[in-house]
Amino acid sequence: MGIATMRSHLSQGDIEKLMRGETSEERAGIAHRLCRRIAADPLTDEERAHAEEIIKILADDAADLVRRTLSVTLRNSPRLPRDVALQLAQDIEEVAVPVLEFSPSFTDEDLIELVLAVTASKQAAIASRRYVNEELTDVIAEHGAPEAVSVLTRNKGAAWTNSAFEHSIRRFHDNDDIKEGIISREQIPIHIAEKLVSLVSGQAFDLLVNKHELPAQIAIDLAAGARERATIDLVEQADRTQDMEYFVHQLDLNGRLTYSLIMRALCVGHMKFVEYALAELSGVPHNRVWLMIHDAGPSGLAAVFDRAGLPRKLLPAFKAAVTVYHETELDGGANDKARFRSRMIERVLTQFQAIPKADLDYLLEKLDIYSEQAEVQEETEQENVRYIGNA
């Protein structure tokens, strides 16, 4: 029996079972079967009206089990009427959470009003929805319980704004779970990273400085040992910066734009940093430096190298690294940067042995890191292929 004939075949006895069945389990079983049909079968307008009658009977059932069956079975269905979804949202948590987390029946305004009126667990369900727009994110960050904000920080489908980050840090500056959730996001504003530097420690601090761009002066201070436990890598920070020219200029002002740093950056393929570094030290505009490195042959590279005041003894290694860079390509696969940098370092070390010991140790350490990253990714890809093959 399909939904088309459901209403005509729904006897008074069935209605009474839904309303006053002997056991809640019996009514829940009927509810499950009917709701599955309502969700899956094509409906005319008349049939939709009949389905909504049934849904409302279930939503008013005295048994939690029946209402939860309705909530779970229709949690993803647009056929759950909005007024019933709102009714279920005000129900006990076991009934409310499935629809709050998944139902498309709510409007954006509904969800905002609910965040301001419901319990922490219900807020957390809303925060975990597949997509949370900026306005809703702001409301949860400003008014939500810690549990909800923590869930929101780890929701990749949540659209975060500057104000959401600021509200979260202001309200929960002593909540490690929320701070770690913010740090774990793919991107955070640079001024938020700056605030977090003084609020986190241990692994969270290491993740912050290794994953996100920091203000140039903060990165410099950390590298200079302003915090004894900090081991910030300026080469990696250069790769993350959104304003390379400013970052390089700040390094130069603080005496941190050394030939060793430039050479290390070149050997791991951070060519943009190298270009701006030579432009800063030589006083030559970046566009001309780019041509002298990439398009003017060995004489152009030697000229800008000398003008930047770098030691002549490093020029052969510099030339070799530039050549390797031009001959090495990103492969386009997952984690291709790690593989690219690993290949860069291997070839530089093979072609030029007279690298200062400190730089050699640095490159060997990076080689281990990038090689390990590439191997982990390759193992993951192979496992995915095996899983698909066995599916």
> Taken in order 152, 155, 158, 162, is the CA torsion positive or negative?
positive
pTM greater than 0.75 (yes/no): no
Provide the residue type at 200 as one letter: V
Q: What per-residue confidence (pLDDT) applies to 283? A: 95
Reading phi first (left if > 0) and then psi (alpha if -120 to 50, else beta), residue 335 is in left
Encoded tokens for 127: 């925060």
% of the chain beyond a pLDDT of 70: 79
Predicted confidence band at 75 (pLDDT cuts at 50, 70, 90)?
very high
Taking the domains of the chain in order of start, what are their residue ranges? Answer: 1-127, 255-391
Alpha carbons 306 and 302: distance in angstroms, whole number: 6
Bigger pLDDT: 1 or 375? 375
Encoded tokens for 297: 């042959």
The answer to whether residues 320 and 289 touch, using CB atoms and an 8 Å cutoff, is no
Instruction: Please enumerate in sequence order all residues whose Cβ is within 8 A of that of 1, keeping only pairs 6 or more positions apart, or say none.
Output: 9
Query: pLDDT tens digit string along 239-271?
Result: 888 889 999 999 899 888 888 888 888 877 889
Encoded tokens for 278: 């030579």
The answer to whether residues 264 and 235 touch, using CB atoms and an 8 Å cutoff, is yes
**φ, ψ of residue 132 in degrees (nearest 5):** -125, 115
